[in-house]
Amino acid sequence: MKKQITVSGFGGQGVLSIGKSLVEAGMDEGLEVTWAPSYGPEMRGGTANCSVVISDKPIGSPVFTHPTELIAMNLPALEKFEPRVVEGGLIIVNSSVVDQKVKRTDVKAFYVPCIDIATELGNTKVANMVMLGAYVKATGALKVETVQEMIKNMFTGRKAKLVPMNMEALQRGMECIK
C-alpha cells in the first residue's frame, strides 16, 4: 500500500493539520510516512498545500507529481490538482465552498460539506476533522481507532474539552462517504 496524497486549500482551513494528522496516525500504525508542507507568505487566506506519503514499504522520495488522492478544500485546489491525480485515484472535495463537480470520469469523487457540518457542530475550525473522517472512511488507509486516539492525544490539558467536538466532526465526515 502506498498513498501519495495532496491536501490543498486556503491557509486557515486546516490543510496542513490534515496532512500532519495523517502522518501522525500513520506513524502510530507503524507505517512509513513523509509530510511536506507548502504555503504562501500570506498564511491565513493564502494558498496552502501539503504532500503526504503513507506506505507499508520504505519511501524513496517525499516528492511526487501525480497523487493517488487529492483533498481539495477550495476551488483553486481542485482546478490545480485534479489533472494530476492518477487514473483510478480519489478526489474528495469540500462542497461547502466548491460548487463544481470533478470533471474527470476516470477517478472516484466524493463531496463533503465540511464547513456546513462544522457550523452545525458549533465551530468552523473542525471542518478539517470532517474532511479527515471522510478521507479515512473513503480509503481505509488508516484505522479509525488510531485517528481517534491521535485526537485524544492532540487535545490535552485546557484543550481536552475540544475532544468530543473533534470526534463528532470525524464521525460526521465518515458518514458522508457512502
Q: pLDDT 10s per residue in the chain (178 long)?
A: 999 999 999 887 888 889 999 999 999 999 999 999 887 665 556 678 999 999 999 998 889 999 999 999 999 999 999 999 999 999 999 999 999 999 999 999 999 999 999 999 999 999 999 999 999 999 999 999 999 999 988 888 888 888 999 999 999 999 999 8
Instruction: List the chain domain ranges.
Output: 2-175
Residue in 161, 167, 159 with CA at minimum distance from that of residue 133: 167
Encode 35-72: b = buried (16+ Cβ within 10 Å), e = exposed.
beeebeeeeeeebbbbbbbbbeeeeeeeebeebbbbbb
Residue 86 DSSP class: P
State whether residue 109 is helix, strand or coil: strand
Residues 153 and 14: their CA atoms lie apart, in Å, by: 18
Instruction: Please tell me the predicted confidence (pLDDT) of residue 43.
Output: 53
Instruction: Please tell me the predicted confidence (pLDDT) of residue 167.
Output: 95
Maximum Cα interatomic distance, the chain, rounded to a whole number of Å:
47
Instruction: Please tell me the predicted confidence (pLDDT) of residue 154.
Output: 84
Amino acid identity of residue 20, one-letter, is: K
Residue in 128, 140, 173, 145 with CA at minimum distance from that of residue 69: 140
Output the pTM of the full model: 0.92
Domain 2-175, CATH number (from 3.40.140.10, 3.40.920.10, 3.20.20.70, 3.40.50.261): 3.40.920.10
> What cell numbers appear for 109 in the block?
469523487
Instruction: Please tell me the predicted confidence (pLDDT) of residue 48.
Output: 87
